[in-house]
Structure 1
Amino acid sequence: MGLPKRDEERHTYGEYRRWPEATRYELIDGIAYAMAPAASRRHQEVLLELARQVANALAGQPCRAFIAPFDVRLPRADEADDAVDTVVQPDLSVVCDPGKLDERGCRGAPDWVVEVLSPATAGHDHIVKRAVYERAGVREYWLVHPVDRIVTVYRLDAGRFGVPEVRELTGRQAVGALPQVEIDWEPVAAITAA
């Protein structure tokens, strides 16, 4: 079962920006998907721990970390912002090109995206968003499974995500797209075990 759609219409970022903030959406190929209700406490703790580690590792570097809600506009070409039909809000994204950042968020593919999975979003993140991130050129995409205590890692190679690496949340793990960042899974595993 996928995330609920706003309607069967095709939408653009121009329309999206005028919608009331009471319900948040992501646009994928013009289809507006309602964001899942507020994430669980555990989801928030895992995300915060990852964001803390990443922000500390990037201190003084040109790369910047952002957590949702943060609009990532993924144009297909050089269309105007209002015509963009794909806008996502990754749980955690890192952008190393300051030219992609503006007051609205990011325009173009982040270098690294992390989604912390929940039962309501797992299929959407694994299937729909993985395809979007691959098409947009996200260099590395991680899916953190707090319940199963594993991480699935996709890395872009010749414009496509290769075979994913799947590993347990143990030890330390380097981010291929950001050699200066290494995740210590022990604090994350402690959260998931609680």
Structure 2
Amino acid sequence: MSLPKEEREYTYVDYLSWPKDERIEIINGTPYLQAAPSRIHQEILSEIHRQIANYLIDKNCKVYPAPFAVILDLEEEEEEDIKNVVEPDITIVCDEEKLDDRGCKGSPDMVVEIISPSTARKDKIEKFNLYEKTGVQEYWIVEPEEKILSVFTLQANQRYGRPGLYSEDDNVPVSIFEDLQINLNIVFSQ
């Protein structure tokens, strides 16, 4: 499906009307069609998700792999006013009040994006700014080709601080949990 060509801002109402088998996000009213992810992307996503999901057994938080809708317009109550709907590669939500059958309404606790050449700009600039502005506590950007992970955590001033940078030989602490570390050697082993 091609993206809508009409010059206007799109909303959550539009998102709900689009085909369910298409991955489309809306950032600041602009729709983005997402290409099918590569095999390596999916292997990385699966391994990070597996490590987090295993840790969360018998805990209150939930982890969701894409596609999973996250609505990030907290101040907007009407669906026709919501202009930010994203589908992160991995989403962690610890407040069950934010969950409904459609996904997450409000800021998740943590988001992971696995970039590709076609999504790098959107993930590193547009989504970075959106996640920071809406209070996502921890944002991971995974770069598969370089085998690098950048971890951004929200500071007291509600801004992301300098990123923690990790490579394939590292175990990465997940700051929203006391005792979870992700083994990047396994994540990048494909």
TM superposition score normalised by structure 1: 0.91
Partner of 2:19: 20
Distance 2:4 2:131 in 1: 22
CA gap of 1:183–1:103, structure 2 versus 1, over 3 A, is: same
Partner of 2:166: 167
Q: 1:100-143: per-residue Cα shift (whole Å, max 9, x none)?
A: 00000000111010011111111110011000100110000000
Distance 2:4 2:168 in 1: 35
- Compute the RMSD of aligned alpha carbons: 1.5
Q: How many aligned residue pairs are there? A: 187
Q: 1:153 aligns to what SS in structure 2?
A: strand
Distance 1:40 1:183 in 2: 22
* Structure 2 alignment gaps of length 5 or more: none
Identity %: 40
Partner of 2:43: 45
Give the 4+ runs in structure 1 shifted more than 4 A. Answer: none
Q: 1:17-51: per-residue Cα shift (whole Å, max 9, x none)?
A: 0122353310111111111x211101000100000
Q: 1:165-184: per-residue Cα shift (whole Å, max 9, x none)?
A: 22212231111122242101
Aligned 8 A contact 1:6 1:33 in 2: no
Are 1:9 and 2:8 matched, yes or no? Answer: yes
Distance 2:119 2:177 in 1: 26
* Structure 1 alignment gaps of length 5 or more: none
Distance 2:76 2:158 in 1: 19
Residues 93-172 of structure 1: matches in 2 within 5 Å?
Answer: 93-157=91-155, 158-172=157-171
Distance 1:60 1:180 in 2: 15
Distance 1:85 1:112 in 2: 20
Richer in strand (by share)? 1
Are 1:32 and 2:31 matched, yes or no? Answer: yes
